[in-house]
Structure 1
Amino acid sequence: MAGAAASLRRHGAAVFGVALLVGAVYVVQKEFRHLSVADIRAAMAALPVSALWIAAGLTVVAYLVLTIYDKLGAIYAGRRVSWPRTMVASFCGYALAHNLGFAAVSGAAVRYRLYSAWGLTPLEIAKVVGFTSLTFGLGGLALGGLVLLVEPEVVPWFGEHLPHWALRLLVVPFWGAVLGYVVLSLFVRRVRVFKYDIDLPGPRMALAQTALATVDVAVTAAIFYALLPAAEGLTFLRFVGIYLAAYAAGILAHVPGGLGVFDGAIMLGLQPYMPAAEVVGALLVFRLYYYIVPLFIAGGLFAGFEVGQRRGVLARVTALGRGTEALEVPAIASLVALAGALLLFMGALPVRGTDAEAWLGRAAALASHFAASVVGSLLLVMAYGLLRRLSIAWWGSLLLLLNAAVVVWARGESWWLWGAVLLTAALLAALRGAFYRDARLTREPLSDQALVPLAAVAVCGISLALVAYSGGPFSDESWWEVVLSREAPWSLRFTVGLTGVLLLVGVVRLLRPARLGVVGWDDGARRRLRALGALAPVQADGAVFGQEQRAGFAFLKRDRIWLALGDPAGDRQDAISAIWRFRDACERAGVDPAFWRVGPDLLRVYEDIGLTAVPLAAPGEEAKHFLACRAERDLQALRQLLPPALQRELPPGRKAAVEAT
């Protein structure tokens, strides 16, 4: 029973996210079945200029509201930060986090980089990050409760399949959490929620948080609502309910920007009110305004900040600092996932004749439609491997992107579509050095565990290619449309479905990193670490060694944190594999990794696994050692490892002033 609970805790979120993504793909292909690119272009062209300007203005207002999040967070932490600096930190943090995903690179890492340069201590920055994260949740709960109370039927899928009284009952925990937070702020200064300690602000600050977050969610939903055509029965409050449900689904799926999941939920919720083409047109413009344009602006601002922190002309031209390096891989992985989503959506559009049909023949033109769905599915899997810095994922993504460009061209789509795919391939090719991990397929001997999925991938790929190029009546459909088609024979539906699933599962198995190197603590492990020159204390909970067994370190197990004792000692390349093995072991155990007293040489790798380097030096002193941890979550628990100058609480006078705000 305990093992089942541990397995659920470890894999439950991932399984739920995959289920949401599969459901979103089903909704999208169903809605796209009768669409064409021309329909979407026409819907976008029909958007009034006034609606575009209103949406652009609301986008500016939305990010200004987010700036107030950070401003109140700084006051709560007891520090005064100027408005210009607050705006830069807030905008960069939220714009990057919205697009790259909270799991891949959170806005917390960006804030730590900026606020630490402006003199805030790690604990003060942790308070700002915690405050901003909690504030958004309060707004979602407050507005979500209102929607469930007044318009419960608008919640996608649940509104049709669950009784309204059951949905209205959810108002109690939603509003109860908000009210409880405000009431607790009157009497309590610190609470423990899910093993995390939260310092509560004063009641005025708690009320300000709730009001601000409610305004933020309402303004963001208004951006999308302004782009939609007038529809009978679709009030703003109803749309807020649809938007909140879609946004929550995107977050729960752990997909960067909620890609696919948010879109599918929005299309499902708006299905009774307007045609799919109008929804997709508004959706694309919304993503352009709220996600893509801010991403490029924030990336430029953050890169400019890093350049400004450097000394010397050469460094200003050739280096952008540790902060931007940590964003490279999540950014390119998001672009690869976006290309995969483009191919998936394209595979759901019917073929209505292409220019390439006259050159390549009808069979090849129809096959490009089927191939789009296969290549798109594989690119989504490859993005997962890229986030883990696997070299095999780099090669696979590069080949699939080139294949995708050919597929898009063969379908006769606009030049900028296949040009964007080629540009993504060029950017990925330029980042070869960022993918340094070996998968089991390339590192370990070819065993049955690797041979079986390798053979399955080869057979499934050939099988799907035969279906695509057969020229039959189903060659112009995506592979999952064949599975769902009632006109296709059961034998074909079963074969294509099983083949597609086996292909994706096989690729995932091939992308698994090399085996974990965690061993128990005994005299043998202690002797091996001493031979490498690593710290080998009398008491420890385990040791981790690299894939070549030429680097390693000891670690301690603490409540929800495993703490490594220093950098891995030994061969540098093997030290990198040891760090990643420790990260994978912590993920499997459902805990956070942390490294104590590490040097500056491997900070890039610690940032790659999602950790923030906190200097173990008083303000103004040069840091020679760092504490690498998930600072936004674990710094409070690890504060005793910081120098006394960084452990301080707020001075009594300042604390009273903050609570009175």
Structure 2
Amino acid sequence: MDRPTPPDLHCEAGGARRWLRHLPALLGLVLMVAAIGVVWHEVRHLHMADIRQAMAGIPSWQMGLAVACTLLSYFVLSFYDRLALIQVGYGHLPFRRAAFAAFCSYVLSHNLGFSAVSGAAVRYRLYRNWGVDSFAITQIIAFCSATYLLGAAALIGAVLIWEPTMLPGIGGHVPSGLLAVIGLGLWGAVALYIGLAFRLPSVCVGQWRVNLPSPRMALMQTFVATAEVAATASIAYVLLPVGVGMDFGSFLAIYIAAYTAGLVASVPGGLGVFDGVMLLALGPYMQAPRILGVILIFRLLYYIIPLFVAGLMFAGHELFLRGDAALARKNNANLSGTAAVARRPSQVVRESEATFSVAVATGTVSLCGVLLIGLVLFDHASGQSMLPDDLAGVLHLGGTYLLSLLGVALISMAIGLSQRVTLAWRGALALLLLATVLTFLRGNAMFVPVVLGLSTLFIAPYRACYYRHARLLSEPLSTGTLLSLLLLLGCVVALATRDDLSASWWQVVFSSSISGAARWTVALAVLLALVIVGRLLWPARVAVSPWGEDALRRYQTLPHALADMNSFQPEGYVMGEAGEAMIPLRALGGFLVGLGDPAGGETDSISAIWRMRDLALQQGLKPAFWCVGEPFLRIYDDIGLTIWPVGDESGLSFCYPSADIGLASQHARLYREQCMADRAHPSS
């Protein structure tokens, strides 16, 4: 039976819709710029010593309460996934697995921003390993997102009704009656959701029946989400000075406003936006150093430490999968060919790396870069050096400047890591090792080389994640690349030939005692070097080859090739990095559609999927995959696509961007109609 050609159902958006599509990004940019202005206005006269003193002044019992609230927050958060598993019929899975999936996925979304709020890639990786089918995972992700929205609507509504004056920026300028009406509207939306549970037990989407939450489940969703937000706000609230004159309800209003602003801005962790709103709202109640101290401790407890913990836990899980799979292969080899072999969970999931590993490695390297850039603020290397006095003096004098530059280099490596570039992985390892040795020899506080060393150990095992070639190494030496290398060399020379190396580069830029020309030279050299390194580490452009008889013959020699590929009417194809896998493709409207799964070896097939995604972005199109099977569903999820099962005995799926999932329903219907027509009128 010939598979039908994917229909072109995409219509380009008109001018107004095109502008509306960019409105969230524009709003986020405005919020971020405004937040930077607020933060700068509040802290321009502060010294780091003031903030350190404020942090040191927080009693140990308050720190203990903050840690307890952090544990409570993540414990409550685990019920998002627990309720979702019960809802989709997988309540038999142990609670510890739901807690593990929730912790890893939400730590990722907390640190990457609202675009990853569901932690879809992490959930897909874990739940597929535990035997949950793809459509159930899609429902779990939707359920968790709905749970969060219910809690947010309930709490924001309460704030608008009872504490509208506490909202920074709008509390004293927008009529309280209008805010109360908006709050009642949000409560009405929550009530409507719960009310629908009484009248609408399920809905049909194509041939699939989706069971909606019962009234009891809807109430539990709302309760869990509100409790989680309240517990998270408590982390910062218990750190406030005793007798600050603010009750928890008022602080909760400020926290929700700050957190919501961070979500709207889509900045990772709400960085800058959350802090600016908190500074603005808490300013009348306490001094800026104490506010910043509270924010820093809150970020440490709720964002940074969980990120490292989740990374180590997930790395351990991946190592278990590999060890378990290796043991299974060894046992299977010792059994006769007719013996029945039970499949281990790790054999069900492909052993390719998850997006989570890359995302956490990127975040870890970025944080290490920020640590080195800001090292001079809290650690002046006053400990005992491991070197002779003369050499220790030289290293102490120039080490601050060098480490701050290494921090910038690590951030540029993180850009390459996010794109899975091999050269960036190698560069990050080398820079982390160098920074670990330097901070240890200089006598910095022991936690600094320990953190850098652990970060090195964390990203080292994931070499398989970084398979893409950098533009610098894979493309011919063009005039642009040569010019970039020369400019980078000039930046290095400009930064290395400074007379005074006792301060970090950013201290030089903001120092009023240094000439303007020297300050501008350092600033431009650092910025230009960052841009150039990022450009050189960017993946090479993906070339598409035309489809023809030679391409068809080559395709048919590869494993897993489809016999009827010409019925798809491909226009070209993309090869994997190693040239051992091929994906036929065609452009349809605003989509670049991969036709079936890649043909070829498994490892190179994964890189072929990523290369097709890169090609789509390179051409300004959206990636999609038509009629794919089970083996690579997790990879399609990794690249940000939503999996939509066909719903028949074929076991095939369509993979589309989530914003265009409505097309999948239409494509699935047309696919089934074509299949029925083929059965009714089989070709001779």
TM-score category by the smaller chain? Answer: 0.7 to 0.9
Question: Is the Cα–Cα contact under 8 Å of residues 76 and 224 in structure 2 kept in the other structure?
Answer: yes
Match of 1:225 among 214, 218, 237: 237
Question: Is the Cα–Cα contact under 8 Å of residues 33 and 349 in structure 1 kept in the other structure?
Answer: no
Q: SS at 1:63's partner residue? A: helix
Partner residue, 2:549:
527
Question: Is the Cα–Cα contact under 8 Å of residues 469 and 540 in structure 2 kept in the other structure?
Answer: yes
Cα distance in 1 between the residues matched to 2:118 and 2:659: 11
Cα distance in 2 between the residues matched to 1:297 and 1:350: 27
Partner residue, 2:503:
476
Cα distance in 2 between the residues matched to 1:185 and 1:231: 39
Q: SS at 1:164's partner residue? A: coil
Q: How big is the shift at 1:439?
A: 1.5
Letter of the structure 2 residue corresponding to residue 337 of structure 1: S
Partner residue, 1:61:
72
Letter of the structure 2 residue corresponding to residue 288 of structure 1: L
When residues 378 and 8 of structure 1 are mapped into structure 2, their CA distance, relative to the original with a 3 A threshold, is: farther
Letter of the structure 1 residue corresponding to residue 412 of structure 2: V
Q: Does 1:138 align with 2:146?
A: no
Instruction: Mark the runs of 5 or more structure 2 residues left unpaired by the alignment.
Output: 1-12, 332-343, 556-560, 670-684
Cα distance in 2 between the residues matched to 1:11 and 1:612: 23
Partner residue, 1:654:
none
Question: Is the Cα–Cα contact under 8 Å of residues 368 and 410 in structure 1 kept in the other structure?
Answer: no
Q: How big is the shift at 1:427?
A: 3.5
Question: Is the Cα–Cα contact under 8 Å of residues 572 and 584 in structure 2 kept in the other structure?
Answer: yes
When residues 353 and 301 of structure 1 are mapped into structure 2, their CA distance, relative to the original with a 3 A threshold, is: closer
When residues 118 and 331 of structure 1 are mapped into structure 2, their CA distance, relative to the original with a 3 A threshold, is: closer
Match of 2:467 among 422, 436, 443: 436
Cα distance in 2 between the residues matched to 1:28 and 1:316: 61
Partner residue, 2:483:
452
Cα distance in 2 between the residues matched to 1:109 and 1:628: 17
Q: How big is the shift at 1:45?
A: 5.6
Cα distance in 1 between the residues matched to 2:44 and 2:438: 19
Relative to structure 2, which stretch is displaced further, 23-32 or 125-134? 23-32
Letter of the structure 1 residue corresponding to residue 102 of structure 2: S
Q: Does 1:165 align with 2:174?
A: yes
Cα distance in 2 between the residues matched to 1:7 and 1:353: 54
Relative to structure 2, which stretch is displaced further, 264-273 or 490-499? 264-273
Cα distance in 2 between the residues matched to 1:627 and 1:420: 43
When residues 421 and 117 of structure 1 are mapped into structure 2, their CA distance, relative to the original with a 3 A threshold, is: closer
Match of 1:283 among 292, 296, 300: 296
Match of 1:180 among 189, 201, 206: 189
Cα distance in 2 between the residues matched to 1:141 and 1:37: 40
Letter of the structure 2 residue corresponding to residue 450 of structure 1: T
Q: How big is the shift at 1:284?
A: 3.4
Q: TM-score, normalised by structure 1?
A: 0.74
Letter of the structure 2 residue corresponding to residue 500 of structure 1: V
When residues 367 and 254 of structure 1 are mapped into structure 2, their CA distance, relative to the original with a 3 A threshold, is: farther
Letter of the structure 1 residue corresponding to residue 598 of structure 2: P
Question: Is the Cα–Cα contact under 8 Å of residues 92 and 110 in structure 1 kept in the other structure?
Answer: yes
Instruction: Mark the runs of 5 or more structure 1 residues left unpaired by the alignment.
Output: 644-661
Q: Does 1:569 align with 2:569?
A: no
Residues 468-502 of structure 1: per-residue CA shift (max 9 Å, x gap)? xx228xx52542x5444555443334333332322
Cα distance in 2 between the residues matched to 1:615 and 1:191: 17
Partner residue, 2:572:
543
Partner residue, 1:331:
360
Q: Does 1:515 align with 2:541?
A: yes
Q: How big is the shift at 1:246?
A: 4.4
Q: Does 1:292 align with 2:305?
A: yes
When residues 450 and 122 of structure 1 are mapped into structure 2, their CA distance, relative to the original with a 3 A threshold, is: same
Partner residue, 2:682:
none
Question: Is the Cα–Cα contact under 8 Å of residues 104 and 610 in structure 1 kept in the other structure?
Answer: no
Relative to structure 2, which stretch is displaced further, 633-642 or 432-441? 633-642
The structure whose Rg is larger is 2
Q: How big is the shift at 1:503?
A: 1.9
Partner residue, 1:653:
none
Q: Does 1:414 align with 2:436?
A: no
When residues 242 and 445 of structure 1 are mapped into structure 2, their CA distance, relative to the original with a 3 A threshold, is: farther
Cα distance in 2 between the residues matched to 1:446 and 1:3: 40
Match of 1:399 among 424, 430, 433: 430
Cα distance in 1 between the residues matched to 2:448 and 2:636: 36
Residues 255-314 of structure 1: per-residue CA shift (max 9 Å, x gap)? 665567656765666555245367436633663366635863796489569948956746
Question: Is the Cα–Cα contact under 8 Å of residues 142 and 175 in structure 1 kept in the other structure?
Answer: no
- RMSD across aligned C-alpha pairs, in angstroms? 5.2
Partner residue, 1:73:
84
When residues 87 and 81 of structure 1 are mapped into structure 2, their CA distance, relative to the original with a 3 A threshold, is: farther
Q: How big is the shift at 1:217?
A: 0.9
Q: How big is the shift at 1:373?
A: 3.7
When residues 174 and 592 of structure 1 are mapped into structure 2, their CA distance, relative to the original with a 3 A threshold, is: farther
Letter of the structure 2 residue corresponding to residue 108 of structure 1: A
Cα distance in 2 between the residues matched to 1:307 and 1:350: 38
When residues 2 and 364 of structure 1 are mapped into structure 2, their CA distance, relative to the original with a 3 A threshold, is: farther
Aligned length: 622
Question: Is the Cα–Cα contact under 8 Å of residues 436 and 450 in structure 2 kept in the other structure?
Answer: yes
